[in-house]
Chain A
Amino acid sequence: MLARENNFFAPRSSAENDPSLKQIIPYTILSSAGKILRYKRGKKSGEQRLVAKGSIGIGGHMNDNDEGLFALDMEAYLAGVQREILEELIVERPKHTRIGALINDDSNEVGQVHLGVVHIFELPYPVAEKRESMILNLEFLTPEQLRAERDTLETWSQICVDNLEKLLAE
C-alpha cells in the first residue's frame, strides 16, 4: 500500500470530503521500558475535532513539501514520519522502529476519509519533551494506566489501547 504506485497527493480540501480517498496518517506510538507516551492535544492543535483529547499517537498529514513530488516510496515516507516526530518532540533516537498495524474507522465521517499507519518506536529511555505548544501533559504510562483513562482518549488511541499487547509484541 505504501509503494509509490499506490499513493498520490491530492488537495486536502477535496480529500476531506471524498470517501473514495483515504488520507494516510502516520500514527507513531513511542514506547520504552513497558510504558507508552500519552499526551493531550491543546487548543492550538491543527485538528480542532481532537482538541483536549488524550492521544498515544504522534503524527499528521503527509504533505508534498518536496517540490515536484507526486507520490512517496517507503524510504521517503519513513523520512516524513521521523520529521513529524522531531517537529513535535525532543526524544532520543529510537532503538528500534517498525510498522505495527493499520487503523481504519469508517464508523464516523472523520474516520471515513483517513487511514492510520501505526508505527512503533522503541526509545532507549522513557523521556520526551514537547517542541510544539499543541502537546500537553506528556507522560509515559503503563498499559494498565492507559486502560484506566481509555474513555478520555481519541478514538484511534482507544483502538490501539484495546490491542496494546499485540501491537507491542515483537
Chain B
Amino acid sequence: MSISKEFVDQLQDFGLTSWSRMKEEMVLVVRRSLLESLGMFQGLRLM
C-alpha cells in the first residue's frame, strides 16, 4: 500500500498547526540563586 504525497503533506500541515497551537508561553526569568548571591531580601529594595 502506498501513501500519497498529498496525504503526507496534509499530515505535516496538521502537525505544524498543532505544534503552533501548543507552543508554550515563554517568560523571562532569573535564577533565585542569582538573587541570593546579590543578597536576598523580603519586600522592597530601592535601586
How long is the Cα–Cα vector from A72 to B29 in the complex, in angstroms?
Answer: 10
Closest to A61 in B: B27
Shortest beta-carbon distance from B11 to chain A in Å: 25
How long is the Cα–Cα vector from A7 to B34 in the complex, in angstroms?
Answer: 10
**By the criterion CB–CB under 8 Å, are B28 and A62 in contact?**
yes
Considering only residues 120-170 of chain A, those with a C-beta below 8 Å from chain B are 159-160, 162-163, 166-167
How long is the Cα–Cα vector from A64 to B28 in the complex, in angstroms?
Answer: 8
Q: A21 in the interface, Cβ–Cβ < 8 Å? A: yes
Considering only residues 60-110 of chain A, those with a C-beta below 8 Å from chain B are 61-64, 72, 77, 99-107
Q: A21-B32, A115-B35 are in contact. Are A103 and B44 (CB under 8 A)?
A: yes
**By the criterion CB–CB under 8 Å, are A7 and B29 in contact?**
yes
Partner of A102, one of B27, B29, B33, B44: B44
Q: B6 in the interface, Cβ–Cβ < 8 Å? A: no
Neighbouring B residues of A159 by C-beta, 8 Å: 43-44
Shortest beta-carbon distance from A24 to chain B in Å: 5
How many residues of chain A are within 8 Å of chain B by beta carbon? Answer: 39
Neighbouring A residues of B24 by C-beta, 8 Å: 11-13
How long is the Cα–Cα vector from A23 to B43 in the complex, in angstroms?
Answer: 16
Neighbouring B residues of A100 by C-beta, 8 Å: 46-47
Q: A106-B42, A118-B44 are in contact. Are A20 and B32 (CB under 8 A)?
A: yes
Shortest beta-carbon distance from B24 to chain A in Å: 5
Neighbouring B residues of A163 by C-beta, 8 Å: 44, 46
Q: Which 9 pairs from chain A and chain B are nearest by CB?
A: A62-B28, A9-B26, A64-B26, A12-B25, A61-B27, A21-B29, A11-B24, A24-B28, A12-B27
Q: Which residues of A contact B (CB under 8 A)?
A: 1, 6-13, 15, 19-24, 61-64, 72, 77, 99-107, 115, 118, 159-160, 162-163, 166-167
Q: Which residues of B contact A (CB under 8 A)?
A: 24-35, 38, 40-47
